[in-house]
Chains A and B, each alone.
Chain A
Amino acid sequence: NAGVTQTPKFRILKIGQSMTLQCAQDMNHNYMYWYRQDPGMGLKLIYYSVGAGITDKGEVPNGYNVSRSTTEDFPLRLELAAPSQTSVYFCASRVGVGGSDTQYFGPGTRLTVL
Chain B
Amino acid sequence: AQSVSQHNHHVILSEAASLELGCNYSYGGTVNLFWYVQYPGQHLQLLLKYFSGDPLVKGIKGFEAEFIKSKFSFNLRKPSVQWSDTAEYFCAVNARNNNDMRFGAGTRLTVKP
Contacts and interface: CB of A to CB of B under 8 A. Distances in A.
B105 A42 contact: yes
A102 B90 contact: no
Interface in B87-106: 90, 92, 94-96, 98-106
A26 interface: no
Interface string A73-114: 000000000000000001010001011101101111000000
A26 B9 CA distance: 35
Which range contains the number of B residues in contact with the other chain?
A: 20 to 34
Contacts of B83: none
Contact of B51 (A31, A50, A98): A98
A102 B43 contact: no
B100 to A, nearest CB: 5
Contacts of A31: 99
A106 B42 CA distance: 9
Given A90-B44, A105-B45, A99 B103 contact: no
5 contacts: A42-B90, A56-B100, A98-B96, A99-B96, A100-B32
Given A41-B105, A42-B104, A42-B106, A99 B99 contact: yes
B99 A56 contact: yes
Given A31-B99, A90-B43, A99 B104 contact: no
Given A42-B90, A105-B44, A106-B43, A35 B99 contact: no
Nearest to B91: A42
B49 A102 contact: yes
A44 B104 CA distance: 9
Contact of B100 (A42, A58, A98): A58
Given A99-B95, A99-B96, A42 B46 contact: no
Nearest to A40: B105
Contacts of B104: 42
Nearest to A91: B43
Interface string B1-15: 100101001000000
Nearest to B9: A40
